[in-house]
Structure 1
Amino acid sequence: MDYDDCLGCPPAEPEAKKSWQEIAAEKRQADLAKIPLEWVLSPSVVAEARKQQKLVDGFVDGLLDEETCYITALDAPDLLQQMRSGSKTAVQVVTAFCKRAAAIHQITRNMLEIGFEAAFERATELDSFFQANKRLVGPLHGIPLTLKDQFHIKGLETSMAFVGWIGTFEGKRGTGKEKIFESEIIKEFRALGAVPIGKVGTSAETSNNILGYLWSPHNQSLSSGGSSGGEAVMQALRGSAFGIGTDIGGSVSMPAAFNGIFSLKPSSGRISMKDVANTGPGQLIMPTVAGIMGVSVTTLQLVLRSLLSTEPWLQDPYVIPLPWREAEEYNPNSGDATNETKPSFGFMDNDGVVTPHPPVQRGLRMVRDALNEAGFNLLDWNPPSNRESEAIHGVIARGDGCLDVWDALQLSGEPEVHEIEGLFEPHGPRMPLSLPDYQDVVVRMRDYRNKYQTYWMSTAEKTTDGQPVEVFISPVTPSAGLLPDKFFYAEYTNSTNVLDFPTVVIPVTTVDKDIDKVDPCFKPLSDIDKINMDAYDPSAYHGAPAAVQVVGRRLGEEKLLSMAQIVVDALKRYKTRRQGKCRLHS
């Protein structure tokens, strides 16, 4: 029918605008369609998974073949050795992790972007290179990774879990950047040989209108934490060999603790955040940092060292030109390492504001005892109060009134999820802080950093070697795991962002409802301490991981990681001895 035939015809009905629910549903379905048919789980298996108390320790393995389970149980350095020797190919490794990630997504609804097809293509290229040159492309050759959905990857969208960002570039249409733009860190990973296989969920407590609420695989009555909870779950269930999250107030450290994995939150300026989607992108006085998540300190060290080898400061002016410094690492096996010359640890049982729950207290005691038995020097850590960081952190992080988050929600009409309702007034964003008020809080942050530095250096007067404490150990959060709506205090991690200190999270133990009970003589340190302890229920938290964080001086990631490994090794010896004694007495 030509144009003349249409004269006098009624005008065509405009296409109805889709609701945010329809857009989100289509997104979920599109992701599921990217899973190979032979990897699709039956509805009964998915339903059974959601009935489980926990998904770690075997449930996912039961869905997979023996070869996939073998490969995905290996840590990144071991995977590299297998590929270097020719025992495994990159295609085998990438396929195994994609298959496992596909199963994890189906039973947890964790992935916002699936990139298996491109990952297979890249793995094939890596194998061809290895066959032709008999060497690996780089120090992360063939290693599959996943990332929080803030990092742009060619061929994949970046929604940051906003429905209104689906099908756009950061909420804008017609930019020409959709699905072809890449963040700087992705370019670095490609040069190193790493293979991105997908991107995972985000938002406060990892609750969003696309995927819903993400639960902990250790106890599916507890939250995965946020906002890098998607990556923490992926690592806990071994869906990739390592992952990348982001952190401005514990968003890497807390999910790592809640999911029983290791993490590194570096100081700002060590890992590139160039061309990464973010909220509050103009806030650079306490910037968001990219953090590494995995199942060992060795992997954290491998990934950071590899990233720094690409000299990211040549492409990103906000990365400090600071290569990996081997001289900063501490070697406990050096010939002159006596008890008198061993480095000292600071130790914080609590910050004087909120007392950790009983399982976290027990984890701290285990670490203290392990280091004491190993002959390390421990100094009680009593720095400037976290109450000071509490008065600084939120004002800087949300001083803009979160207008950009509000605007992103308005694009689709989706409501704010319950977990972020407090960011806004009933009908819109809060009034931004005035520039003079903002400058006042920045000055307060400067003064707080100065006081903390003075305290840290003063510890040299109390150590056996006359040197300041190298790192200190503290709780990550007051709780092991997170009951929805029962999280009251974040200053153990917020303070490290205010101070720009790097941190490593180390899992220690798990909650035992028969052991981890509140001391009947407990006396709260503050009103919030009472609220926090009253919310503790040993049965509800049973099985949740309890962790500690090791905190280093600003830009001291090399020393921090080596000291964290000392803690891991000491804990391993400590647990082995205790198990031996238990067998003797049984």
Structure 2
Amino acid sequence: MNHGRGVPDWIGSIWRTIALLSIFQCVTCWQFLKSSPNVYQRPLSSENISWQEAAARKRLETYNKIPQQWILPEDVLEAAKSHRKITGSFIEALLDNETLKITSLDPVDILEHIRNRSFTSVQVTTAFCKRSAYGHQLNENLLEIFYDLALDNAKELDAYQASHNSTIGTLHGLPVTLKDQFHVKGVETTMGYVGWIGTFEGHKGTGKERIIESELVRELRSLGAVPIAKTTLAQALASGETSNNILGYTKNPVNQELSCGGSSGGEGAVQALRGSAVGFGTDIGGSVVVPSAFNGVYGFKPSVGRNAYRDAANAERGQTVVSSVVGILGPSLASLKLMFRALMSTEPWRYDHDIVPIPWYEELYEQSEDSEAVTKLSFGILESDGSVSPHPPIRRAMKIAAKVLEKEGHKTITWDPPSHAEGYDIHYGFMDAGGYNDSFTQLALSGEPPVREMMQDIGYRTKTPMPILEYFNLTIRLKDYRNRYADYWKSMGADAVIMPVAPHAAVLPGGNYYTYAYSSIIDALNYCSIVIPVTTADQRVDKFDGKYKPLNDIDKKNWQAYDPDIYDGAPAAVQVIGRRLEEQRLFRIARAVDEALRRHGKLFGA
């Protein structure tokens, strides 16, 4: 399909390309093994089965954990393939009244129903397990399913509430999902690696396979939350699209012609389908905020040292100058605040050495909501990073956000900080520093090849690690960049910054040219960010501008990939940026943005 506007010919046939991926992977597998002689290789298991068979067994094992009465008919699955959007009315039409009623509620309201006993924990857990099971069959977004353990947990919570006439904690009975980096007792963690099947992070015989639980999971359980499943992710956590050799490519359920993002794309898809009340992902370059924006849900990325990462799996874990953080995805800003505040109440710094001891002060939050000091705010507005310009739907979302804030009496200022291109270059330097030796070592455990999306982002072989003195100099360069950016922020007097999450509303499969750049800068600076959905792409409004003059080759590729027809209906979001460790203040400011959009969004075309 070519619309006569410079759109590449491969766009119209992209899914046929994906269908041929298995053939492509066989070739790349041979290339990978040949070109990585330094990687130690060993059999997948004592059976010495192929990685393809191991992955197929794992997929079937996961599918078989769905109760028979929740298996969708073949005609429904076929119908889903012909629908662009399977969120909202499509999946809701499949649900019974009780499941629909419960899963349509905000988490704050669900908890109130459980507290006043109009719902039991078993009812709520059953509803979300059922909806997530439907969502997985339609979208293939779960790597691990453990509904039986979840329902046993819910029964225990109901018994406790009945005998003590109180709940265990703030999140009593609330079903959650987690990216498959987090260990849950009795449940396997593969992180999308075929070679991790039947092991603990690739190692057999450690005795840890099914007994270790991540600190985040322990905290959630202490609050009464109920983990129900773990979500799929990008192979090696290394792509802005979600694909691995166990589940394959995960589409965007809001618009199946587009990507769900990565690396926490499975979690973004689950939240769009309302498969759990709230979900958890990780972010080192946009891996929470990008899937949140692409799937039309709210997302929160804190600074380093806020949410516990202890005893979670990771890739390239030795690189800690720019660290990965645990983020939250949910259906509302209130749901994100609820979860973050609850986690802070567990005093995670007592259990994870890397956590900064900053409690949540509710009194401060509530007082500052009404104080004169914050009635009018100042927002820096960055519409483009100067390297790749956003597509029309994102430009429109940015303008709507600015206009509703001005309507509320807030101040908007043009944001022209130290070069984002420089910040992106520094960030990429740290991501590339180890040469991806760890990631390719994990692939070699089974002999599986890198998937197409990983190859597009980092190649199909290891690289020479950065020399230590060069690494030191890059660290000095980062410190200088952070200080210059902080100085600029102070000089402008901004309370927060609003900018795109990415230069597009999701990407066409294989079109991940610049997905992370807008968001990776936030990780490089160690700032915090909240994603707020604004509008959806509209083919009648968001036209392709054939006269647009690209800034460079990447900008040209990004622009040529924009097709108003294909993008129609895709979520368009913005992110609100706060400074390091100012998460509580950011929630207060984001609330002002969210409420302004609710009050005035339609007036400006949202």
How would you bin the TM-score normalised by the shorter chain?
Answer: over 0.9
Alignment of 1:93-132 (within 5 A): 93-132=124-163
Tell me what 1:463 maps to.
none
Q: Distance in 2 between matches of 1:507 and 1:217?
A: 16
Larger relative contact order (Cα-Cα within 8 Å, sequence gap ≥ 6): 2
Q: Distance in 2 between matches of 1:425 and 1:554?
A: 33
> Do 1:326 and 1:558's aligned partners in 2 also have CA atoms closer than 8 Å?
no
Amino acid at match of 2:467: S
Amino acid at match of 1:374: E
Per-residue displacement from partner, 1:229-256 (whole Å, max 9, x unpaired)? 0000000010000000001000001111
Task: Report the alpha carbon displacement of residue 424 of structure 1 after superposing the two structures with TM.
Answer: 5.6
Compared CA separation, residues 332 and 191, structure 1 to 2 (3 A): closer
Aligned partner of 2:402 among 368, 371, 390: 368
Compared CA separation, residues 391 and 333, structure 1 to 2 (3 A): closer
Q: Distance in 2 between matches of 1:435 and 1:368?
A: 44
Q: Distance in 2 between matches of 1:366 and 1:244?
A: 29
Aligned partner of 2:94 among 63, 86, 96: 63
Amino acid at match of 2:478: M
Alignment of 1:46-57 (within 5 A): 46-57=77-88
Aligned partner of 1:483 among 508, 518, 531: 508
Q: Distance in 2 between matches of 1:423 and 1:529?
A: 17
Aligned partner of 1:164 among 195, 200, 220: 195
Tell me what 2:116 maps to.
85
Would you say 1:248 and 2:273 are equivalent positions?
no
Aligned partner of 1:451 among 484, 487, 490: 484
Tell me what 1:228 maps to.
264
Task: Report the alpha carbon displacement of residue 49 of structure 1 after superposing the two structures with TM.
Answer: 1.4
Task: Report the alpha carbon displacement of residue 337 of structure 1 after superposing the two structures with TM.
Answer: 5.9
Aligned partner of 2:442 among 408, 411, 427: 408
Q: Which is worse superposed, 497-506 or 48-57?
A: 48-57
Q: Distance in 1 between matches of 2:365 and 2:495?
A: 11
Task: Report the alpha carbon displacement of residue 316 of structure 1 after superposing the two structures with TM.
Answer: 0.7
> Do 2:51 and 2:194's aligned partners in 1 also have CA atoms closer than 8 Å?
yes
Aligned partner of 1:26 among 57, 61, 64: 57
Aligned partner of 1:179 among 188, 201, 210: 210
> Do 2:393 and 2:538's aligned partners in 1 also have CA atoms closer than 8 Å?
yes
Amino acid at match of 1:269: G
Q: Distance in 1 between matches of 2:215 and 2:46?
A: 38
Tell me what 1:219 maps to.
255
Task: Report the alpha carbon displacement of residue 30 of structure 1 after superposing the two structures with TM.
Answer: 0.8
> Do 1:119 and 1:196's aligned partners in 2 also have CA atoms closer than 8 Å?
yes
Would you say 1:418 and 2:452 are equivalent positions?
yes
Amino acid at match of 1:359: P
Per-residue displacement from partner, 1:147-170 (whole Å, max 9, x unpaired)? 100000001100000000000000
Tell me what 1:135 maps to.
166
Q: Distance in 2 between matches of 1:328 and 1:491?
A: 34
Q: Distance in 2 between matches of 1:330 and 1:91?
A: 33
Would you say 1:575 and 2:601 are equivalent positions?
yes
Q: Distance in 2 between matches of 1:402 and 1:84?
A: 48
Q: Distance in 1 between matches of 2:315 and 2:603?
A: 47
> Do 2:378 and 2:496's aligned partners in 1 also have CA atoms closer than 8 Å?
yes
Amino acid at match of 1:563: I
Q: Distance in 2 between matches of 1:345 and 1:552?
A: 10
Aligned partner of 1:351 among 385, 398, 402: 385
> Do 1:402 and 1:430's aligned partners in 2 also have CA atoms closer than 8 Å?
yes
Tell me what 2:498 maps to.
473
Q: Secondary structure, in 3 states, of the residue corresponding to 1:164?
A: helix
Per-residue displacement from partner, 1:521-563 (whole Å, max 9, x unpaired)? 5333344323321221111111110000000000111111111
Task: Report the alpha carbon displacement of residue 578 of structure 1 after superposing the two structures with TM.
Answer: 5.9
> Do 1:508 and 1:548's aligned partners in 2 also have CA atoms closer than 8 Å?
yes
Amino acid at match of 1:382: D
Q: Distance in 2 between matches of 1:485 and 1:561?
A: 34
Q: Distance in 1 between matches of 2:278 and 2:46?
A: 43
Q: Distance in 2 between matches of 1:15 and 1:155?
A: 22
Compared CA separation, residues 335 and 551, structure 1 to 2 (3 A): closer
Task: Report the alpha carbon displacement of residue 15 of structure 1 after superposing the two structures with TM.
Answer: 7.0
Per-residue displacement from partner, 1:94-150 (whole Å, max 9, x unpaired)? 000001011111111111100100100110111111111221111111000001000
Q: Secondary structure, in 3 states, of the residue corresponding to 2:573?
A: strand
Amino acid at match of 1:175: T
Q: Secondary structure, in 3 states, of the residue corresponding to 1:354?
A: coil
Alignment of 1:432-451 (within 5 A): 432-451=465-484
Q: Distance in 1 between matches of 2:46 and 2:390?
A: 55
Amino acid at match of 1:537: D
Per-residue displacement from partner, 1:468-491 (whole Å, max 9, x unpaired)? 211100000000121112222222
Task: Report the alpha carbon displacement of residue 301 of structure 1 after superposing the two structures with TM.
Answer: 0.4
Compared CA separation, residues 524 and 325, structure 1 to 2 (3 A): farther
Would you say 1:309 and 2:342 are equivalent positions?
no
Per-residue displacement from partner, 1:382-418 (whole Å, max 9, x unpaired)? 1111111121111101211111110111111111100
Question: Which of these two proteins has the greater Rg computed from alpha carbons?
Answer: 1
Amino acid at match of 2:445: L
Amino acid at match of 1:243: G
Q: Secondary structure, in 3 states, of the residue corresponding to 2:485?
A: helix
Would you say 1:209 and 2:245 are equivalent positions?
yes
Amino acid at match of 1:58: S
Tell me what 1:380 maps to.
414
TM-score (norm 2): 0.89
Q: Distance in 1 between matches of 2:310 and 2:344?
A: 15
Would you say 1:72 and 2:103 are equivalent positions?
yes
Task: Report the alpha carbon displacement of residue 62 of structure 1 after superposing the two structures with TM.
Answer: 1.5
Q: Distance in 2 between matches of 1:354 and 1:224?
A: 21
Would you say 1:149 and 2:174 are equivalent positions?
no
Compared CA separation, residues 304 and 422, structure 1 to 2 (3 A): same
> Do 1:154 and 1:179's aligned partners in 2 also have CA atoms closer than 8 Å?
yes
> Do 2:369 and 2:588's aligned partners in 1 also have CA atoms closer than 8 Å?
no
Task: Report the alpha carbon displacement of residue 177 of structure 1 after superposing the two structures with TM.
Answer: 0.2
Amino acid at match of 1:547: A
Q: Secondary structure, in 3 states, of the residue corresponding to 2:300?
A: strand
Compared CA separation, residues 190 and 15, structure 1 to 2 (3 A): closer
Amino acid at match of 2:549: K
Q: Secondary structure, in 3 states, of the residue corresponding to 2:380?
A: strand
Tell me what 1:515 maps to.
541
Compared CA separation, residues 558 and 408, structure 1 to 2 (3 A): same
> Do 1:149 and 1:201's aligned partners in 2 also have CA atoms closer than 8 Å?
yes
Tell me what 2:3 maps to.
none
Q: Distance in 1 between matches of 2:507 and 2:291?
A: 9
Q: Distance in 2 between matches of 1:481 and 1:274?
A: 31
Q: Distance in 2 between matches of 1:527 and 1:336?
A: 48
Per-residue displacement from partner, 1:283-309 (whole Å, max 9, x unpaired)? 111111010000111010010010010
> Do 1:328 and 1:559's aligned partners in 2 also have CA atoms closer than 8 Å?
no
Per-residue displacement from partner, 1:331-370 (whole Å, max 9, x unpaired)? 68626368xx622111111122221100001111111110
RMSD: 1.7
Task: Report the alpha carbon displacement of residue 518 of structure 1 after superposing the two structures with TM.
Answer: 3.2
Q: Secondary structure, in 3 states, of the residue corresponding to 1:473?
A: strand
Would you say 1:525 and 2:561 are equivalent positions?
no
Tell me what 2:16 maps to.
none
Q: Secondary structure, in 3 states, of the residue corresponding to 2:532?
A: strand
Would you say 1:284 and 2:310 are equivalent positions?
no
> Do 2:59 and 2:247's aligned partners in 1 also have CA atoms closer than 8 Å?
yes
> Do 2:299 and 2:327's aligned partners in 1 also have CA atoms closer than 8 Å?
yes
Compared CA separation, residues 423 and 518, structure 1 to 2 (3 A): closer
Amino acid at match of 1:437: E
Compared CA separation, residues 86 and 383, structure 1 to 2 (3 A): same
